[in-house]
Structure 1
Amino acid sequence: MLDTITVLDVTQVVSGSFASMTLADMGADVVKIERPTGGDVGRHNPPYVGDFSSYFASVNRNKRSVSLNLKSDEGAALFLELAEEADVVVENFRPGAMERFGIDYETVAERNPEIVYCSISGFGQDGPYAEYPALDIIAQAMSGNMSITGPPDSKPYRSGVPIADIAGSMYAVQGVLGALFRRERTGEGQYIDVSMLDCMLSWLTVRAGYTFATDEPYPRMGNKLDEFVPYGVFETADSHLAIVVVQDHHWEKLCAAIDRPELATDDRFRTTEQRRTNRDELESILEDELTARSTDEWFDVMADYGVPSGPIYDTKEVWDDEHVKHRELRSEIRAGDEELSVTDHPVKYGDDTTGITRGVPRVGEDTYETLERMGYTEEEVAALIERGVVGSPETAHPDR
Structure 2
Amino acid sequence: MRRNPFEELVSMTTSSGPLAGVRIADFTSFLSGPFATQILGDLGAEVIKIEPPEGDMSRAVPPRFVDGSSTYFGSANRNKLSVVLDLKSPEGQAAARRIIDGADAVVENFRPGKLALLGLDEQTARARKPSLVWASISGFGQDGPLRDRPAYDMIVQAMSGVMSLTGDPAGQPVRAGIPVGDLCAGLYAVIGLLSALLEARQTGVGRTVDVSMLDVQVAMLSYHAASYLQGGPLPGLQGSAHDSIPSYRCFRSGDGTVLAVTANTQGMFRNLVAVLELPELADDPRFRDFKVRYANFQELVGILDAAFLRRPGAELLEALIEAQVPAAIVDDLQGVFKNPQVIQRGMRLDVHGSEDGQTIAVPGDPLRFTPPGRTKHKFPPRLGEHNEEVLGQS
Same fold (TM over 0.5): yes
String of CA shifts for 1:21-72, please: whole Å, max 9, x gaps.
0000000000100112x21000000232443311100000111101111111
The correspondence for 1:295, drawn from 303, 310, 313, is 313
User: CA separation in 2, counterparts of 1:356 and 1:159?
Assistant: 32
The correspondence for 1:125, drawn from 126, 132, 142, is 142
CA contact (8 A) 1:229 1:272 kept: no
User: CA separation in 1, counterparts of 2:20 and 2:372?
Assistant: 13
> Counterpart of 1:242?
260
String of CA shifts for 1:317-368, please: whole Å, max 9, x gaps.
2111122112111110135742111111101111111455211110000001
String of CA shifts for 1:218-246, please: whole Å, max 9, x gaps.
23231222211122111012310011222
1:325 lines up with 2:343 in the alignment: yes
1:266 lines up with 2:263 in the alignment: no
TM-score (norm 2): 0.91
Residue 215 (structure 1) shift: 4.9
- Describe the shift of the 1:352–1:294 C-alpha distance in structure 2 as closer, same or farther (beyond 3 A): farther
User: CA separation in 2, counterparts of 1:355 and 1:203?
Assistant: 32
| Amino acid in the other structure paired with 2:315 | E
User: CA separation in 2, counterparts of 1:266 and 1:59?
Assistant: 52
> Counterpart of 2:385?
365
> Counterpart of 2:7?
none
The correspondence for 2:217, drawn from 188, 200, 215, is 200
Residue 164 (structure 1) shift: 0.7
Q: Secondary structure at the match of 2:337?
A: helix
Matches within 5 A, 1:320-359: 320-335=338-353, 337=356, 338-354=358-374, 356-359=376-379
> Counterpart of 2:234?
217
User: CA separation in 1, counterparts of 2:78 and 2:352?
Assistant: 9
TM-score (norm 1): 0.90
Q: Secondary structure at the match of 1:331?
A: strand
- Uncovered stretches (5+) of structure 1, i.e. residues with no partner: 373-380, 382-391, 393-400
CA contact (8 A) 2:95 2:391 kept: no
Residue 126 (structure 1) shift: 0.6
Q: Secondary structure at the match of 2:333?
A: coil
| Amino acid in the other structure paired with 1:40 | D
User: CA separation in 2, counterparts of 1:34 and 1:129?
Assistant: 27
- Describe the shift of the 1:137–1:173 C-alpha distance in structure 2 as closer, same or farther (beyond 3 A): same
User: CA separation in 2, counterparts of 1:348 and 1:258?
Assistant: 38
How many residues matched?
Answer: 373
Aligned-residue sequence identity (percent) comes to 38
> Counterpart of 2:6?
none
CA contact (8 A) 2:24 2:107 kept: yes
CA contact (8 A) 2:188 2:211 kept: yes
> Counterpart of 2:100?
83
> Counterpart of 1:278?
296
1:159 lines up with 2:180 in the alignment: no
String of CA shifts for 1:278-318, please: whole Å, max 9, x gaps.
33332233223323433333222211111121111122221
Residue 199 (structure 1) shift: 0.6
| Amino acid in the other structure paired with 1:344 | G
Q: Detail structure 1 runs of 4+ shifted over 3 Å in the superposition.
A: none
Q: Secondary structure at the match of 1:214?
A: coil
> Counterpart of 1:175?
192
Residue 98 (structure 1) shift: 0.4
- Describe the shift of the 1:158–1:113 C-alpha distance in structure 2 as closer, same or farther (beyond 3 A): same
CA contact (8 A) 1:344 1:355 kept: no
User: CA separation in 2, counterparts of 1:251 and 1:354?
Assistant: 43
Q: Which moved more, 1:223-232 or 1:287-296?
A: 287-296
- Describe the shift of the 1:246–1:161 C-alpha distance in structure 2 as closer, same or farther (beyond 3 A): same
> Counterpart of 1:257?
275
> Counterpart of 2:110?
93
1:43 lines up with 2:59 in the alignment: yes
